[in-house]
Amino acid sequence: MQTLMNLLPLILMFVIFYFLLIRPQQKRQRAIQQMQANLKKGDKIITIGGLHGIIDSVDEDKVVIRAGDGSRLTYDRSAVREVVADK
């Protein structure tokens, strides 16, 4: 019984750590993966490097982005940070 009482604070800390840090990070990661899987031609995006553009074509693991000056740049799908909603 004494060993259980000694381990209780450690177990409690792990549970709190899980619900405050690990679980929200996993949710964010799943949302990012879902967004990157649902990319389609015509989406306005921002890359992790800050490039704003429109998706010109989508491959299995790459996207071609049309930048503001008309140039076409090829990026990995994982380089897309967010899809920008039209305003």
Structure confidence at residue 1 (pLDDT): 80
Q: Which element (helix H / strand E) includes 77?
A: none
Q: Residue 43's CB: how many other CB atoms inside 10 A?
A: 19
Q: What is the pLDDT of residues 32-62, one digit of tens each?
A: 999 999 999 999 999 999 999 999 999 999 9
What pLDDT band is residue 86 in, cutting at 50, 70 and 90?
Answer: low
Q: What is the pLDDT of residue 21?
A: 92
